[in-house]
Structure formats: structure tokens, C-alpha cells
């Protein structure tokens, strides 16, 4: 499946790939097992529905071997254009997931290449995007993920480039 890539943070969106480099199996297709859908640029894990069913990591111990990767932005055509947000993969729909790529994701806090990558697993006030990225545990509301490395610097709410290697 062809993927859109962009090398400039000014033109990037959450979940967009940085470049077209990567092994043939660097992106896999998974099926969304999440009632409210999954946005691009979110860390996703294997659900109980099967190996290629993906859900958001809603428990502290859900990362590790269960991580499938990060949901990839793609232009999609809706069956009923007024029925949904075009930037959310709906429940039971196919979704591309990056396993070994460089891609743009939004960070909840300031970040730079010396920071570790954490993934939100618990809602904390206005920080309500499960599967979103940050640089600390947010008092046990996020879990460290060693399968990704930060490549750029930025402020809270900005897009940053990460390198995923699962």
C-alpha cells in the first residue's frame, strides 16, 4: 500500500512517515479492535481478538511483547463521508501500523533526543489520548517504550520525529 511521506515538521501530521525507507515488512496491516477507533500516530498493541487486531494500550503492563507499532496516517475514502472523522480508523477497519520506520508523532510534553519514550496508558485530566507519546511516566500514567527513539526536539503539543524498531 503506497504511503505518504514528509520530511518537514511544518508540513507533517500525526502518524505521517518521514521517508519511504524501510524493509518490506516495516508496515503491517492490522484490524482496529477499539470501539471509538484509533487516531494515526498512536502506539497500538495486540488485542485479545488475534495477532493482527490492534487496540490502544489501556493498562500499565500492556506494552512489551504486545506492542504492534504505531498507527500510520493514510488518506482514506469513507463509505459514508458524513459518518466519521476521516482521521480516525474506525472499529473493525484495516489500519497500517509501522514497526520499523521513522515517523511524526505528537508529544504531550517538551522532548529532545536525550529523552526516553513513554506511552500514555491512563487518562490524567486533559491528557486523555491513550497511546500518545511523552518523555516521562506522568506519575504512573505512562509506560516506558524501548522500541522507539526520539530524533528531534520540540515543545509540548508539537510533532516530533521518532525512530521505531520492533
Query: Residue 65 in 3-state DSSP?
Result: helix
To the nearest 10°, report the CA torsion of 122, 123, 128, 129.
Answer: 10
Instruction: Please tell me what DSSP assigns to residue 163.
Output: E
- With a cut of 70, say whether residue 150 has pLDDT above it: yes
> Residues 8, 98: contact at Cβ < 8 Å?
no
Q: Which pTM was predicted? A: 0.88
- pLDDT per position as a tens digit, 95-137: 999 999 999 999 999 999 999 999 999 988 888 899 999 999 9
Pairing of strands 118-120, 94-98: unpaired
Bridge partners for 119 per DSSP: 133, 143
Amino acid at each position: 500500500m503506497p504511503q505518504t511521506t514528509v520530511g518537514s515538521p511544518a508540513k507533517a501530521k500525526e502518524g505521517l512517515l518521514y521517508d519511504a525507507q524501510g524493509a518490506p515488512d516495516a508496515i503491517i496491516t492490522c484490524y482496529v479492535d477499539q470501539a471509538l477507533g484509533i487516531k494515526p500516530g498512536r502506539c497500538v498493541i495486540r488485542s485479545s481478538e488475534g495477532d493482527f487486531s490492534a487496540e490502544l494500550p489501556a493498562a500499565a503492563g500492556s506494552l512489551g511483547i504486545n506492542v504492534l507499532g504505531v498507527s500510520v496516517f493514510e488518506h482514506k475514502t469513507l463509505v459514508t463521508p458524513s459518518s466519521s472523522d476521516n482521521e480516525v480508523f474506525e472499529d473493525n477497519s484495516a489500519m497500517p501500523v509501522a514497526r520499523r520506520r521513522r515517523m511524526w508523532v505528537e508529544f504531550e510534553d517538551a522532548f529532545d533526543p536525550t529523552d526516553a519514550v513513554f506511552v500514555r496508558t491512563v487518562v490524567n485530566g486533559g491528557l486523555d489520548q491513550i497511546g500518545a507519546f511523552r518523555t516521562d511516566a506522568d506519575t504512573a500514567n505512562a509506560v516506558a517504550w524501548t522500541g522507539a527513539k526520539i530524533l528531534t526536539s520540540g515543545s509540548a503539543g508539537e510533532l516530533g520525529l521518532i525512530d521505531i524498531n520492533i
